Amino acid sequence: MFSRHPAFAALAPLLAHLGGFPRTSADWARLPPVQVRSGHRIVCVPPAATDGHYEAQIHETGRLPTRPLNWHDCFNALVWHRYPRIKAALNALHYRLLPHPGDAGRGPVRDAATLLDECGLIVPYCDATLHAALLQHDWSGLFVAQRAAWGVRIEAQVLGHATFEHLLAPFVGLTGKCWPVAVAPEYFGWPLQARLAWLDDTLAQAIDAGALQSPRQLPPLPYLGIPGWWPQQDTTFYADTGYFRPARRLPAGSPR
């Protein structure tokens, strides 16, 4: 199933190590250990074995609620093992910002962290023109004119576990939020596992430094436009402005 889409290459070693769909905590225990910032080892347990606030109990106990035979929770656990530093940094951020009685709402920082965690993609690039095309919603330039740049000067790595779940049965309309990351050109010559480890460390440090402040800093990415991510990437596909939406034009005098 997973070999059919390039986005799952990042998870392939973990899935091979597991040898199939994990059904019990013992299955998950076959993977190398990862920890939350409090020092507790992540342990996948049925939701009934947990209580309290989701992020708090992960931080305070290491227990990760994981429903048996549930793709959403399975991918969440896999991402904990694929990007342990990022996930620990996001959990620590949520834990620091948990509301106290009387506090209003979640706030933009936690909203951004949730979007990244659920539907986020990391977009390393070494060409500023490609970054500009992404920010300007120049989808034709990014996906068509610069098709040969993908994998050479720009790439996308899925972080969000909901995005992995959606890619099991993709449909036109799928869009994620991405974190563009400037990299050196030699990055694209590294083996995949080295690239992923570098991203894990770099983004975790950025999260710890307070770089994640608002959902607005995570541009939308209609990721089925990435070369090779959808089977019918013809002229008609890329002409669909309902999916590949142009940047919204603000009225004159509107605040930016």
Q: Name the residue type at position 67.
A: R
Q: What is the pLDDT of residues 48-96, one digit of tens each?
A: 766 678 899 999 999 999 988 899 999 999 999 999 999 999 999 999 9
Distance CA 195, CA 66 (A): 28
Asked if 163 and 6 touch (Cβ cutoff 8 Å), the reply is no
Asked if 199 and 188 touch (Cβ cutoff 8 Å), the reply is no
Distance CA 133, CA 139 (A): 7
pLDDT of residue 252: 44
Write the CB contacts of 23 (distance below 8 Å, at least 6 apart in sequence): 68, 69
Domain ranges of the chain: 2-98, 113-238
Residue closest to 56 by CA, chosen among 86, 99, 85, 24:
99
Q: What is the pLDDT of residues 193-231, one digit of tens each?
A: 999 999 999 999 999 999 999 999 999 999 999 999 999
**Side-chain half-sphere exposure of 203, counting CA atoms within 13 A:** 29
pLDDT of residue 105: 66
pLDDT of residue 253: 47
Distance CA 134, CA 10 (A): 23
pLDDT exceeds 70 at position 35? yes
* pTM for this entry: 0.93
Q: Hey, what are 121's tokens?
A: 């993609």
Give the dihedral of Cα atoms 67, 175, 155, 127; nearest 10 deg: -150
pLDDT of residue 104: 58
